[in-house]
Amino acid sequence: MANSTLSKSLSLTKSDLKIAIRRSESLLVTVVLPIVVLIGLSFSKGGLEKYLPFVFIQSCLASSLLSLGISTGFDRRYRVLVRLGTTPIGKKGIVISKIIYVFVLETMQLVLIGAVGMALGYKPSVTILLVFPFCWLASIAFSSIALIIASNLKAETNLGVQNLTYFLFVAISAIALVSNVKSSEYLIFAKIFPSSALHYLIRYSFGLNSFSLTSFISLIVLGALLAYYAIQTFKFDE
């Protein structure tokens, strides 16, 4: 049964990837925009080591939250999900397929952005490879949030809420990047909030701070809880 669900999910993932590659607006948000941000920040003080983690987080959020959430919302609007609902894949299979789709898309993003960073002069250490599992882990939570919103709101409302959520998550991550956190209350919040928790973990992979066990555990727990809730509340139509 589990193998059957995974097989159907992988088939749907392959279809979603083909559609994403053909969508120019999707490529703009997930690939072009992060690279433009990276090139712009390369002229700032502090070097690429300081700003590249933020670009990785932005690209992760763009694919797992914004792009996925908006496309899923319009799939509901045009009854694509209704047709999928008549197949044996079920809610669980759809959620799994969307998360795997994000994993693959993010892997391509991170490789491309990393290559651009190296072309701009960044010299990575081997620990930079930890960016991949950290982003995949965070993406379970981000994708689940996107699916919860997209499957419970009408397409137009979903579009606005997904954008607002994306900018909120990016802003909180940016605050964690540029601020010298002194408040213990804010430090605890920053280490458990999904986007800033990912920020701490990615900075560790760059050798910029120590490993945050709190952030790592929070992403595992939030990912599991949110994925479960996304499956339970997923709706095929408006």
Classify burial at 146, counting beta carbons within 10 Å of its beta carbon; exposed 0-12, middle 13-18, buried 19 or more. buried
Is 99 a member of any domain? yes
DSSP characters over 103-128: HHHHHHHHHHHHHHHHHTT----GGG
Is 116 a member of any domain? yes
Distance of CA 147 to the CA centre of its chain: 12
237 close to 79: Cβ distance less than 8 angstroms = yes
Percent of the chain surpassing pLDDT 90: 32
CA 200/CA 107 separation, integer angstroms: 19
Of the listed ranges 12-16, 89-93, 188-192, the one predicted with least confidence: 12-16
pLDDT given for residue 85 in this prediction: 72
Is 68 a member of any domain? yes
Is 168 a member of any domain? yes
State pLDDT tens for residues 147-200: 999 988 888 899 999 999 999 998 888 776 665 555 556 677 888 999 989 988
195 close to 172: Cβ distance less than 8 angstroms = yes
pTM: 0.87
Which residue range(s) make up the domain with 188?
2-233
Total domains, the chain: 1
Per-residue pLDDT band for 230 (boundaries 50, 70, 90) equals very high
pLDDT at 91 over 70: yes
Picking from 10, 9, 227, the residue whose alpha carbon sits closest to that of residue 137 is 227
pLDDT at 113 over 60: yes
pLDDT given for residue 4 in this prediction: 60
Considering only residues 14 and 58, tell me which one the structure prediction assigns the higher pLDDT: 58
97 close to 17: Cβ distance less than 8 angstroms = no
Is 215 a member of any domain? yes
Per-residue pLDDT band for 141 (boundaries 50, 70, 90) equals very high
Count the neighbouring beta carbons within 10 Å of the beta carbon of residue 83. 11
Is 133 a member of any domain? yes
Per-residue pLDDT band for 205 (boundaries 50, 70, 90) equals very high
pLDDT given for residue 177 in this prediction: 63
Is 202 a member of any domain? yes
66 close to 145: Cβ distance less than 8 angstroms = no
Is 238 a member of any domain? no
pLDDT given for residue 172 in this prediction: 85
pLDDT at 24 over 70: no
CA 229/CA 224 separation, integer angstroms: 9
pLDDT at 57 over 60: yes
pLDDT at 145 over 80: yes
pLDDT given for residue 147 in this prediction: 93
Count the neighbouring beta carbons within 10 Å of the beta carbon of residue 121. 9
Taking residues 81-104, what's their average pLDDT?
83
Picking from 27, 162, 166, 168, the residue whose alpha carbon sits closest to that of residue 105 is 27
pLDDT given for residue 138 in this prediction: 95
DSSP state of 17: H
Taking residues 57-80, what's their average pLDDT?
87
Per-residue pLDDT band for 219 (boundaries 50, 70, 90) equals very high
pLDDT given for residue 131 in this prediction: 94
pLDDT given for residue 5 in this prediction: 61
Mean pLDDT over each residue of the chain, to the nearest integer: 84
Residues 6+ apart with CB under 8 A from 81: 72, 75, 94, 151, 236, 237
